[in-house]
Structure 1
Amino acid sequence: MSIKASLFVLKDRDFGWFFASRFVNLAGSSMSHVALAFAVLEVSDSASALGYVVAAHTIPMVVFLLIGGVIADRFPRRLVLQLSNVASALTQAAAATLIISGHAEIWQLVVLEAMNGTAMAMAFPAMQGMVPQLVAKKDLQPANLLLSMSRSTLTILGPSIAALLVVGVGAGWALAVDALTWLLAALFLLRVRIPPRPADAEKTSALQDLRAGWTYFRSTTWLWVVVVAFAILNAIQSGGQQVLGPAYAKSSSIGVEGWGLGNSALAAGMLVMTIVLMRATIRRPLRAGMCGIMVFGLPFFALALWPQTVPFVVTMAVAGAGIEIFSLGWSLAMQENVPEEMLSRAYSYDALGSFVAMPVGQLLYGPLGAWFGARPVFLASGMLYVVVCLAVLSVPSVVRLQRVEQPATEGTPA
């Protein structure tokens, strides 16, 4: 597998337009986290206020995620994505207008981000199901690889560009750019044609499907153990990296520019590791993945012990490489070991479990930083992150899970 082998899928007209939609959407999203963080800090110089706004986005996304999956299975996924993109464009444009005009208040941003999070809950399950509808099974790997590489590349540039916009013209204009990309993404989807779905032989209710998915989820040890672990890890990451981190960076020698560089370094590490993994073989995907994700504790140690731009950027790059190892390992574990008829529901419960505690971290880290100081909180976070990963690696079904040997596909570009 190589970059060249992935590019050939763009010859397909429908996937090409879908890729264009995702590309511009990812370009805006890569800037939105930095832009939103410093937009809120312009309105209220408080990490707690930032936590409220970020949590307002995450909570409805978690609450409505399973409903979004049902909607994506009941209605055309392209239509669901288009409506979600338009809703996201309107909410970000409204937030940008309020901030640029100087009339923004925290409660207004909370409401708008709650609406944006609800739209994302509708979009995520539909987006997950689009690629298999657009490309043949033999092309799924190169198609997903191409999307992954574009995401990593844009994430390298996005945070730094957002930081420059924040410093140069203000955070509101960075949010306005994000709103424009959502609108363009919806327009590009107009050119995508989705084949009609075959009629199901047996009709089941959404509630029956959810119950069957839950039964499979709780009976598969490696699956629920990793998801429970990521409920904790994502709470740490979202609270430390999205709430306390930006507030601390603004008042430290790291600064807004350094924070943006760190986020770009994270993406650079992911991109480099993606290229490395094209030539590597992972035999035990979850063992490799958990070892990889463990290094995400390093940026917390850097913020606690060496709060300077260079150590922060370097550790973020290493963390990005670790994230990509986990991402590949988790995809291989899920796609090769979960039955195809259960895969979407397994991903749905995976996402719900992984995201459910994120608002807790987003709401707690501001007050924790005020009570104990940012650096002790970062140090405790890094230690807890490593301990959770080691606990998962002590579970036999996690470390013993092996790849399912796949037969070679004839005619696949090398």
Structure 2
Amino acid sequence: MAARLTRFLLGYGGTAMATGLQVILLPWIAVAVADLPALQLGWVQASVLLPNLVFLLFGGVLADRRDSARVAGLACLGLAACHGALLLYFSYRLPDLYVLLLYGVCLGVCTAFLQPARDSLVHRSVQRSEGSDGSAVHSGVQHTVTWMMLAQYGGQAVGMLFASRFDQWGVETLLSIQVSALLMASALLFSLRLRSHDSRHRSRLPPGLIREGFTQAWQRPALRELIALVAFNGFVHIGVFLVVLPLLAEDYGRGASYYATLQLAFIAGTVAASVLMLRRGQGREPGRGILMCMLYSAALLVAISLGPTPLGLLLLCGLWGVVAAASAALGRSVVQILAPEEYRSRIISIYQLALFGSAALGALTAGVVSEYAAPLMTLRWAGGASLVAFALLISSGDLRRYRVGMHD
């Protein structure tokens, strides 16, 4: 494996490990430490995602205008500062709703600049290790994206394993681990920066550059349909996952360790799917695979809504992870292949805005529904909506018919 690709994957894995810790720590601090109800938990979870609605597109512009490795490294330093500030606050008193909202917003702002810059480094790694032939580059992009997803899910699994020791280690130790992981990731991503960078866009204003990104995405029908699909996935699937899963864990009465185990089961599924895709490849029809993943997700949501046993919920979360990893890897590969180099970071930011921006709205909606109905009813409605969306998209065309190599 090329040295640049190794550094990229290690840096990506470091950011993922910090995210894995965050996925467990933030909601559990809100539920178990601050004792917040379901609606306020929804606001806390959404506070991390809502900044994407404002800053993610500007993050894509900045990564296209500046060296994306430098932008990613600085964003990691910002995240480390956020976790360090909460660690300092814990040494004085326990956080309340407003402190957690401020913490979540700051994390969201830094993440909005990190995501497009970090993901745009995929092609930089591929181009250093692959030939210049178009089909070889496309195959290399798919392979590198799969490695990237494995680094993401593996890093998150390590972070969640640490978080599962919440009751033994305490919040302060886990926050210190987050800070250390992000400082390491920052150094690795900084090492990927280029000696020189094209500055032809620096005299232009961001709104015009953002419009260019939307125009480029709209002109590619398969990409346009994919962005609409991931917006639905973010609203229905991620929003439900963020809010309903910790509520279910609390209802089962097994504490933070069980919630962490549910998350680890999900991550184990994502790792298994990524390893399988590394061995077998992603195939020539990724769009069809993404649509089938939506159907499988609908079935899993309905199954969880039936109220499985604690062991059954673990198994279903593992299967959900398999489906989520396959869908995410296929979708990211399509974006990396179809996005022109000059607009790549901006189109990646549009894709991520559709996913995480809608997830913020989905988390708020899931919190409201779970406050006035049962969490299991929220899952049932989400599964039904997914079935309707699948029926609409399978009868459409561009994404379903897209084959790798059909567009240069």
Q: Same fold (TM over 0.5)?
A: yes
**Deviation at residue 190 of structure 1 after TM alignment:** 5.0
CA RMSD, 1 decimal: 2.8
Please list every run of at least 4 consecutive aligned residues from structure 1 whose deviation after the TM superposition is greater than 6 angstroms. Answer: none
2:93 and 2:204 map into 1 onto residues whose CA distance is 51
Q: Give the alignment of 1:324-403 within 5 angstroms.
A: 324-403=325-404
Q: Give the alignment of 1:86-125 within 5 angstroms.
A: 86-99=77-90, 101-125=92-116
Return the match for 1:43 from 34, 46, 59. 34
Sort the Cα spacing of 1:45 and 1:108 in 2 relative to 1 into closer, same or farther, 3 A.
closer
1:376 and 1:203 map into 2 onto residues whose CA distance is 52
Sort the Cα spacing of 1:52 and 1:371 in 2 relative to 1 into closer, same or farther, 3 A.
same
2:94 and 2:402 map into 1 onto residues whose CA distance is 54
Sort the Cα spacing of 1:280 and 1:353 in 2 relative to 1 into closer, same or farther, 3 A.
closer
Quick one: which amino acid aligns to residue 370 of structure 1?
E
Sort the Cα spacing of 1:348 and 1:267 in 2 relative to 1 into closer, same or farther, 3 A.
same
Quick one: which amino acid aligns to residue 239 of structure 2?
G
1:129 and 1:352 map into 2 onto residues whose CA distance is 15
**Deviation at residue 120 of structure 1 after TM alignment:** 1.1
1:216 counterpart residue number:
216
2:275 and 2:169 map into 1 onto residues whose CA distance is 35
2:11 counterpart residue number:
21
1:196 and 1:327 map into 2 onto residues whose CA distance is 32
Q: Give the secondary structure class of the aligned counterpart of 2:174.
A: helix
1:60 counterpart residue number:
51
- Residues 182-229 of structure 1: CA distance to partner in whole angstroms, max 9, x if unpaired? 223224445445231246599765444322322233343332333223
TM-score by length of 2: 0.86
Question: Number of matched residues?
Answer: 396
Matched, 1:273 2:273: yes
**Deviation at residue 63 of structure 1 after TM alignment:** 1.0
Asked if the contact 1:292–1:321 (Cα under 8 Å) also holds between the matched residues in 2, the reply is no
1:225 counterpart residue number:
225
1:195 counterpart residue number:
195
1:275 and 1:391 map into 2 onto residues whose CA distance is 31
Sort the Cα spacing of 1:333 and 1:71 in 2 relative to 1 into closer, same or farther, 3 A.
closer
Quick one: which amino acid aligns to residue 18 of structure 2?
G
**Deviation at residue 289 of structure 1 after TM alignment:** 1.4
Asked if the contact 2:217–2:224 (Cα under 8 Å) also holds between the matched residues in 1, the reply is yes
Q: Give the secondary structure class of the aligned counterpart of 1:45.
A: coil
Quick one: which amino acid aligns to residue 114 of structure 1?
V
Which protein, 1 or 2, shows the higher relative CO under an 8 Å CA cutoff with sep ≥ 6? 2
Sort the Cα spacing of 1:35 and 1:100 in 2 relative to 1 into closer, same or farther, 3 A.
farther
**Deviation at residue 114 of structure 1 after TM alignment:** 0.8
Asked if the contact 2:116–2:346 (Cα under 8 Å) also holds between the matched residues in 1, the reply is no
Quick one: which amino acid aligns to residue 384 of structure 2?
M
Quick one: which amino acid aligns to residue 11 of structure 2?
S
Asked if the contact 2:63–2:117 (Cα under 8 Å) also holds between the matched residues in 1, the reply is yes
**Deviation at residue 109 of structure 1 after TM alignment:** 1.4
Matched, 1:148 2:149: yes
2:346 and 2:11 map into 1 onto residues whose CA distance is 25
**Deviation at residue 330 of structure 1 after TM alignment:** 2.0
Matched, 1:33 2:34: no
**Deviation at residue 173 of structure 1 after TM alignment:** 3.6
1:412 counterpart residue number:
none
1:319 counterpart residue number:
320
**Deviation at residue 155 of structure 1 after TM alignment:** 2.8
- Residues 81-100 of structure 1: CA distance to partner in whole angstroms, max 9, x if unpaired? 23221221121122234346
